[in-house]
Amino acid sequence: MIPVTDRIRQSLVSLHMARALETLDQTLSQLERGEISAIEAIDALLAEELNLREGRRIGVALRTARLMPIKTLESFDFSFQPSLDRNRIMALAQLEFIKRAEVLHFLGPPGTGKSHLATAIGVAAVKAGRSVYRCSLAELIEALTKAEREGRLGEKIRFYARASLLIVDEIGYLPITSGGANLFFQLVNARYEKGAMILTSNRGFAEWGEIFGDPVVATALLDRLLHHAVVVQIEGASYRLRHHADLIPEHTRSHATITPPPPPKRRGRPPKNGGAHHMHG
């Protein structure tokens, strides 16, 4: 007759529970020494296996989501950015906005932590089991343009529409062609009221006509992207340049506020200037 411990070993092999198998001997000897109860032994084995798998899942998901290098809210120094309401960011990291398929905007000058915060919330979402994908607007438009050229646009839009959170970083750094703006609009339309987004930009909404090279498309984009939206505006100094204050010309020292959004369109209310505001159409 096979001893019970050998049978457990075989079962763990068949179930591909490598980590539990690895810790079995140690757990059994603790059990023999009377250091733990049988129920604690079962608990320890399962917890070891689960921890390993969860860690592996998160690692794979973070890479797939393109959230490397990882940023966290714990590593964000809120005292450096006093215009930012820490409680508000922590509330957003509870991820209810993802369930409500809302759009979260981070606006502010370069180096104020927009990408850091967007990534950190993305990391929190991955840990909570949400599917996330991050890219810059330029990468997104390049991929859509390529897909369109190859006759795979529908497929590509479905790919970008699939994640429950899509992070589009760096809106406003590079000008977009009207073809590119059109492709971005198609994607935004596909996600509208279905999936959450985080957008980061160094430019105010009033400048979107200029960024997207077409005021009509920009208006249509903003119409959807501000309908169920949270706007967090950061007004502060660049963290990148924090040790080089003397090298920065006075006029770029980032009190430069971002132009407020244009007046209300068909629906929704735009945010007032400064701070974060909830808008529900």
Contact 176, 215 (CB under 8 A): no
| 107 belongs to the binding site for ligand ADP (CB under 6 A) | no
- Contacts with ligand ADP by CB under 6 A: the residue count is 16
240-259 residues in contact with ligand ADP (CB under 6 A) are 240
| 233 belongs to the binding site for Mg ion (CB under 5 A) | no
Reported in sequence order, the residue ranges of the chain that DSSP labels E, i.e. its strands, are: 103-107, 132-136, 165-171, 196-201, 228-233, 276-280
| 80 belongs to the binding site for ligand ADP (CB under 6 A) | yes
Of 60, 70, 58, 173, the residue nearest 119 (C-alpha): 70
121-180 residues in contact with ligand ADP (CB under 6 A) are none
| 86 belongs to the binding site for ligand ADP (CB under 6 A) | no
| 275 belongs to the binding site for ligand ADP (CB under 6 A) | no
List 45, 48, 95, 112, residue binding ligand ADP (CB under 6 A): 112
At 212, give phi and psi (nearest 5°). -95, 5
| 115 belongs to the binding site for Mg ion (CB under 5 A) | yes
Of 242, 123, 104, the residue nearest 169 (C-alpha): 104
Which listed range, 10-18, 91-99, 110-118, 261-269, lies at the site for ligand ADP (CB under 6 A)?
A: 110-118
d(CA 258, CA 242): 21
Helix (H, G, I), strand (E, B) or coil at 156: helix
Please say which residue, 27 or 115, places its beta carbon nearer to ligand ADP: 115
Please say which residue, 71 or 105, places its beta carbon nearer to ligand ADP: 71
What residues line the site for Mg ion (CB under 5 A)? 115
